[in-house]
A and B are shown apart, each in its own frame.
Chain A
Amino acid sequence: MTMKYFFLKRIVEIIVIFFVIMTLFFLLFHFAPGDPVSRMVDPSMTHEDAAYMISQLGLDQPLFTRYGIYIKNFFQGNFGNSFHYGEPVIQIIGDRLPNTILLFTTSIVLSAFAGIFLGRITAWHKGKLIDTLGTILALVCHTLFLPWAALLIIWVFGYQIGWFPLGGILSPELWIQPETGYVAKALDVLYHMVLPLFTLCIIHFGSYMLIMRSSMLEVIGEDYILTARAKGLSNRQICNRHVAPNASLPVVTSVGLSLAFSVNGGALTEIIFSWPGIGRELIFAVTNNDYPLALASFLFISIVVLVSNFIVDIVYTYLDPRIQY
């Protein structure tokens, strides 16, 4: 099996899974107690607008036709209008999705690197003070309750010390001025991103670090490490060139497995830090009974999870040359 074939197979798998998810939620939408029409059509619309909406979403058609229209609408980006905002759902999603991807990817990459880095240090100094302290730190961070950690971080850095803003993604007064350059804008977003990013990294690096530590210890016991030592390589070379690259593979696997979990954390962080992302929009939509927006945000979040899963697979094959498909 060639690599190309493997990736093709994965892509087909992802598409199938996505269709199953879409179908399940379609069925849920239409068979859950209550009226499907009232879920998709804004109750505050005029009669004509509502009739137009119903015909466009195919709600007056039999189930199979309706399913076809649902799939077609999805590919045309037509999810109806949000009840709460009164705008097309796709516009809101398009607006929020980049923010979520920015926070999500940066936090995952940063926490994985932090976990690998700290796990390497603690495993290399096994049994010493730094190992004990690092392991305890990782355990505590791993079991911290995310919303509480976020509130605590806001309380400390946003309120008591006051270094960082309490929430939001940008300072409007800066963005309104026409003379602000791109660099200043990017720095502003970065400045607002520090606290949410810090929260997510604290929560996620713990488990990566524990995995890295135990897999380092396993690799250190291998014969080829003994060979490396016998060749007269320095400790540093053995650690960086022979142990760490092999030991970091399980971390990549666990990043892939914990993506769904990270999305949950991301949504919580977004809502606490008022980060205008898609997870926050989903939670708001559920609170406001804004069904079209809730469904569409959920579908897009699943796409993010599936695609990042695929990317993790690619990274894994790139990191591990032993893999043969």
Chain B
Amino acid sequence: MALKKTYLQQARHRWLSVKAGPYLAFFWQNPIGKWGVLLLITFGLMALASFFPPLIDPMYHPMTGVDPNISNVTPPAWNHWLGTDYMGRDLFSQLLTGARVAFMVGVSAAFMSIVFGTLVGMTAGYSGKLIDTLLMRAADMIMLLPTLLVVLLLSSFIGQLSIWTIVMLIAVFRWPGVARVIRSQTLSIKEKPFIDAARVAGASHFRILFRHILPNVLPMALLFMTFRVTSAIILEAVLAFLGFGDPGTVSWGMMLQWVWKTGNMFQAPYWLFPPGICISLITLSFYMIGRAMEEILDPRLRKEKIED
């Protein structure tokens, strides 16, 4: 009885009850993790700041606000910090709004694909046999497809994509990588004694999956979420860049599309540079955070030990 209890306790809150302090400290000591977080905070502040410009003056609204005195591309000035686009809209407030859209798309698409991938991966790893083979074959096939081109082809059937359709499509095509990793983790966790203990204690498959396996694969799922966020942001930006974005929102990809399509690319570097730099840096920050998390999760990558 005593044995069973310890195993179950171990299983239940193994991850959730771990003291996060040493891990956070380790994360912060890693320059990659630190700079990644700092960059991300900057973008978070940008996203928050995006609510203010339209309140100051309606002409700073990223989509509908047009400076009454300006009807063309203008370089940076005191009242337009980054200049204006071809309609006289403020580029700086568009850039701020872009941060908000990137976060929204990136986090929601990544979250959905992680949830889906984790469920599929756990089911495949836990049930084994035919279900495993079928699910993993499907995952392999989706991984072989060029996501961007599939989404483009689908968009020709769906028509104009809204931002949430884009999020859904990204989630649908980005789960296989997660599912593979979670499956292999599940396969090794399945053999641990505490799972046997739970089974002997009469836990149902559902309970074993969600109370005993899920907490143990969660860290890996979180790690993958940082990578998925970047791929979602990039995919949305690329779709917007090609002109398949949501016409109701401004994103960085759309700003790039405007500067490219209106032929202002060579004359207006102040318009060409900021959105591209922002997309690249936000990708970099999530990538760095992911790498730092990977070092915590994979002891082989660590240089020093965490004391806990």
Q: Which residues of A contact B (CB under 8 A)?
A: 17, 20-21, 25, 28, 32-34, 139-140, 142-149, 151-152, 154-155, 159, 257, 259-261, 263-264, 267-268, 271-272, 279, 282-283, 285-287, 289, 291, 294-295, 298, 301-302, 305-306, 309
Q: In the complex, what distance in Å separates the CA atom of A65 from the CA atom of B143?
A: 31
Total A-B pairs in contact (CB under 8 Å)?
114
Contact of A295 among B153, B276, B283 (CB under 8 A): B153
User: Does A142 contact B276, Cβ atoms closer than 8 Å?
Assistant: no
Residues of A within 8 A of B238 (CB): 146-147, 264, 268
| A305→B144 contact, CB < 8 A | yes
Prevailing SS type, chain B contact patch: helix
**Extra 15 A-B pairs, beta carbons < 8 Å, given A151-B256, A152-B272:** A21-B141, A21-B145, A143-B281, A145-B234, A147-B238, A148-B272, A154-B265, A155-B269, A155-B272, A260-B143, A268-B241, A286-B155, A298-B153, A301-B149, A306-B144
Contacts of A159 in B (CB 8 A): 266
Q: How large is the interface on B (under 10, 10 to 19, 20 to 34, 35 or more residues)?
A: 35 or more
**A286 touching B279 by the CB < 8 A rule?**
no
Cβ A301 vs Cβ B272 within 8 A: no
In the complex, A25 Cα to B149 Cα: how many Å?
Answer: 13
B82 contacts chain A at the CB level, 8 A cutoff: no
Contact at B284–A145, with CB atoms within 8 Å?
A: no
Give the residues in chain A near B275, CB-CB below 8 Å.
Answer: 148
Are B256 and A282 within 8 A (Cβ)?
no
In the assembled complex, the Cα of A139 lies from the Cα of B244 at a distance in Å of 29
Cα-based distance from A151 to B265 in the complex (angstroms): 8
Query: Interface of B with A (CB < 8 Å)?
Result: 140-141, 143-150, 152-158, 230, 234, 237-238, 241-244, 253, 256, 260, 265-266, 269, 272, 275-276, 279-281, 283-284, 287-288
Q: Are A291 and B147 in contact (CB under 8 A)?
A: no
Q: Point out the residues of chain B lying under 8 angstroms from A154, CB to CB.
A: 265
How far in angstroms is the closest Cβ of chain B from A163?
15
Question: Do A17 and B157 touch (CB < 8 A)?
Answer: no
A143/B280 contact (C-beta < 8 A), A148-B275, A155-B272 known: yes
